[in-house]
Chains A and B, each alone.
Chain A
Amino acid sequence: MKIAISSDGEELDSRVSRKLGTSRYLIILDLESGDFEVVSNPGASGQQGAGIQVVMLAVSRGVSTIVTGYCSPAIKERLMSNGIEVLSGVESTVRGVLEKYRRGELKFGIHEEGVAGVKKIKIDRSTFARSIRGAVRQFVSLLPMMVGVILLTGLFNAFIPKGWLTAIFSGNPLLDTLYGACFGSIIAGNPINSYVLGGELLQNGVSLFAVTAFILTWVTVGMVQLPAEIAALGRKFALLRNGLSFLLSVPVAVVTVLITNLIVG
């Protein structure tokens, strides 16, 4: 069983911190093996969401009990709902907590199953209302971006003539594959439209490499949806994911067409 003690320092003789959310460290002890590790608390600076970061940290480390000076009711509820027991009101050193445990003055493990434990989920009216409120909040916060993306897609559909695409391709397979990937990234819509357009491009003599890259990036890369993806999942993630998907489209297109040619002949 693992317990986490919020601590002011990295040593076992450090004081148990007064507040869980902003404690500088968590000392995580494995009571079976006796091993311990010191983890910096990502929320130590006290910014918004510090308490949630402690919850995430405890959950990811498989902690089943947290010992601290004070824990806010909201964070306590979060920890408890994850099967993590909270012992607050402790004024001692980390070593002192351990000695109390060894002497049997402290008992851990109210939730024996810990993080992996199976908890009975009680659904009452307030839990249900909270779940709906949470879902509505998430939706409302992304609604403006969604509206923007839909309006922009409408603009693309109306203002970019389909024949314009064929005229752009040069005849050079490598360059055309890049062009295909670029156009697929810019244009958005139902994937079936990419098959229709891809089919037309093929008939007009555009290489299958280019058409494959076009079909691939149509769904995997979204320049039109990028603002909405950034808002939902963060700038770094959205840019990296779209960039990687774009870069990968060229080798995937080449491999797909080469294998197809090998088999079909």
Chain B
Amino acid sequence: MNLLVEKSKQKEGKSGSQKRRLLFPAAVAAVYVVLYIAMPDKTILALRSSCSIVSNIVLPLILVFVVMILMNLFLNPAQTARLIGKKSGIRGKLLPAVAGVISAGPIYAWYPLLRDIKSKGSGNSPLAIFLYNRSIKPYLLPAMVGYFGMVYVIILTVCMLLGSFVVGYAIDYLTDDG
């Protein structure tokens, strides 16, 4: 009997969180409807811009999906904890920094993978370091040099790398992972 009550409570909790998850996209959709009534041309432009974003993230999403399957197959929580867990030391900071730099595509494509890594036992700091280092994009550096010059770009890149570790250690400290 108790088990039944517990299970039904769990179901209620699940459907509640599903509803909460839908709240944000529903609110944005509602804004679209209102804006479409007031400014249909611009709203269609916004929708087109969203569609072009979708076409841009298809490839990164496929990449992330494949990485997730491989991680589910080959990486268990023990290995994750050893690589980037709370007590993984300097390796646990450098590994996500490199991963952040080489990762491609918009950040929201990477959230499912990051959540998966977290559920496998990663600390908070590697996730923060990964996210911060996404600001360093080697393939975009030539474009940046064109706008701001080589010296500025090198210094900014080094500062961003160092900044990522500051954020990582601060997150560790503030979330009691340290």
Q: A-side interface residues toward B, CB under 8 Å?
A: 48, 55-56, 59-60, 78, 81-83, 115-116, 121, 123, 127-128, 130-132, 134-135, 138-139, 141-142, 144-155, 157-159, 190-192, 195-196, 198-199, 202, 208, 212, 215-216, 218-220, 222, 225, 227-229, 231-233, 236-237, 240-241, 244-245, 248, 252, 255-256, 259-260, 263-264
Verify B29–A232 contact, CB threshold 8 A.
no
Verify B54–A150 contact, CB threshold 8 A.
yes
**Distance between B26 CB and nearest chain A CB, rounded to angstroms:** 8
Judged by a CB distance under 8 angstroms, whether B99 is at the interface is no
Verify B111–A142 contact, CB threshold 8 A.
yes
Verify A115–B115 contact, CB threshold 8 A.
no
Measured between alpha carbons, how far is A145 from B61 in the docked complex, in Å? 14
* Chain B interface mostly: helix
* Chain A interface mostly: helix
Which residues on the A side are within 8 Å of B31 (C-beta)? Answer: 155
> Taking A131-B72, A135-B69, A232-B111 as contacts, is the C-beta distance between A150 and B53 under 8 angstroms?
yes
> Taking A192-B140, A225-B108 as contacts, is the C-beta distance between A158 and B42 under 8 angstroms?
yes
In chain B, what residue has the closest Cβ to A139?
B112
Task: For B137, give its contact among A116, A191, A198 (CB under 8 Å).
Answer: A191
In chain B, what residue has the closest Cβ to A219?
B135
Task: For A138, give its contact among B54, B73, B115 (CB under 8 Å).
Answer: B115
Verify B28–A152 contact, CB threshold 8 A.
yes
Verify A153–B53 contact, CB threshold 8 A.
yes
Which residues on the B side are within 8 Å of A81 (C-beta)? Answer: 76
> Taking A60-B85, A241-B128 as contacts, is the C-beta distance between A260 and B151 under 8 angstroms?
yes
Q: Total interface residues on B, using CB and 8 Å?
A: 78
Judged by a CB distance under 8 angstroms, whether B114 is at the interface is yes
Task: For A145, give its contact among B21, B85, B87, B137 (CB under 8 Å).
Answer: B21
Which residues on the A side are within 8 Å of B21 (C-beta)? Answer: 141, 144-145, 231
> Taking A55-B77, A153-B53 as contacts, is the C-beta distance between A144 and B135 under 8 angstroms?
no
Which residues on the B side are within 8 Å of A263 (C-beta)? Answer: 151, 155
**Distance between B121 CB and nearest chain A CB, rounded to angstroms:** 6
Given A155-B28, A248-B166, A264-B151, output 7 extra A-B contacts at Cβ < 8 Å: A154-B46, A192-B140, A216-B163, A218-B135, A220-B160, A231-B21, A264-B152
Verify A244–B171 contact, CB threshold 8 A.
yes
Verify A151–B25 contact, CB threshold 8 A.
yes
Task: For B49, give its contact among A134, A153, A215 (CB under 8 Å).
Answer: A153
